[in-house]
A and B are shown apart, each in its own frame.
Chain A
């Protein structure tokens, strides 16, 4: 019987007007910020478009920045711009700004481990030598 629920498309109720739904309000204690939509947070269209155009602008900036003469800080600057773009995607498109803090802590925590991973590997690589160096050891004899 349970399986039949998933194999057969269930009957759908017709699209609602602004009335509340009949089957959820009686049972659930929803943390509804927006009672019209329950626990859903539909993102406003203007926000979607604003974030998109900001991302495009930052992409243009990224390409432009690659033509600037920045020397050794070029990598840092391009990574900073990429991180700003990533933050926009994470906070808005991925709804983290409206999400439970636990999810944010989890996801951002993964970057701590990435930092450990890269940090230790690069630290180790900085200690590489091209060849084995024999350390000079003074042989101390106990002879007279």
Chain B
């Protein structure tokens, strides 16, 4: 493979990198006997850091476990606001980024410079895609006033499942938009000047910024599809009470099933929730002063208490928000790796940094593998 390397003179090629006469790998620090010892030491260090990361997230998982054990109806109520399709999409995106990250480690070990740079760029791009979807999810919830405890206002959830782009999304996308323009300008300039290495970096950054907006598009698309299905669903439910409305509900169900398979599943979800709570609710849905979003589902007065849905959203924002901060930090570190990779600094003796960042990235993916079913797939 061709590399943009500085061709050393013959003496260096024979004796390795004797820049200062020690005869060892240039990236082997002096307190290590050899590169393998350096690698093993770094490995131990990063595994210890991952232990602290596991314990860090376990605090939030403990809050989740405790709260869900004691208030299962709150979780059932609040889970309808989380779009499982978006969650599944994000899971697949992160799994793919784990693949490219592991592949990048392989490329570093085999001195496949182009493969390394490409895989690192795709990993950063997938992270941006993930954050784009997250941005849509968050702003959609802010629109519906699904806020952490203390700010959560239940009566606004009546306007749930509306379509369209949230005004918050434009504000949130302002910084990524600026970055997109800046990277585009930088990329064009490097191409004009013929700076190949810089254009690789700029191109990767531009690619990632563009993928953020692809994620936003995917998120908006899924939200609109869900809103359209729910509009059809709600139309059939507004007139009669829950118990008498079975025929109307069924026809809305059919409209549901035609829209998409995913929403048929969601319709069944409402059905099963309705069945399980039909006995529990002592008053008909329409007669009660607290309206419900889905007939037969837990009524708002059941979940809207000091220990209610607001705390679910506190836990949701805390867990996914801290996870998103980890993704951002990972993107920063991966960018640093990308710059080093374009300088061709990694080989089969020195690939530790790629390996360690890979381990961190896989932990971030692992956390999401657990977050997805626990938050998005509650029945």
Contacts and interface: CB of A to CB of B under 8 A. Distances in A.
Interface of A: 1-2, 5, 9-16, 21-24, 27-31, 37-43, 45, 48-49, 51-52, 55-56, 59, 62-63, 65-67, 69, 74, 78-79, 81-82, 85-86, 89-90, 92-95, 99-100, 102-103, 106-107, 109-111, 113-114, 117-118, 121-122, 125, 128
A100 B15 CA distance: 31
B109 A40 contact: yes
Contact of A10 (B17, B62, B105): B17
Given A23-B23, A118-B65, A125-B66, 14 more contacts: A11-B6, A12-B345, A13-B13, A15-B111, A23-B15, A24-B25, A29-B34, A38-B36, A39-B35, A81-B373, A102-B44, A103-B47, A113-B55, A114-B55
Contacts, number: 201
Contact of A2 (B3, B12, B24, B30): B30
Interface of B: 1, 3, 5-8, 12-17, 19-20, 23-27, 30, 33-36, 39-40, 43-44, 47-48, 50-51, 54-55, 58-59, 61-62, 65-66, 69-70, 84, 88, 91-92, 95-96, 98-99, 101-103, 105-106, 109-111, 265, 268-269, 272, 343-345, 348-349, 351, 355, 358-359, 362, 365-366, 369-370, 372-374, 377, 379
* Residue of A14, A90, A103, A113 with highest tally of chain B CB at under 10 A: A103
Contacts of B55: 110, 113-114, 117
Given A11-B6, A12-B5, A37-B110, A110 B365 contact: no
Contacts of B54: 107, 110-111, 114
A21 B8 CA distance: 15
A45 to B, nearest CB: 8
Contacts of A59: 88, 91-92, 95
A62 B366 contact: no
A interface majority secondary structure: helix
B58 A74 contact: no
A118 B54 CA distance: 13
8 contacts: A23-B24, A30-B34, A52-B99, A55-B98, A89-B362, A93-B101, A106-B44, A117-B58
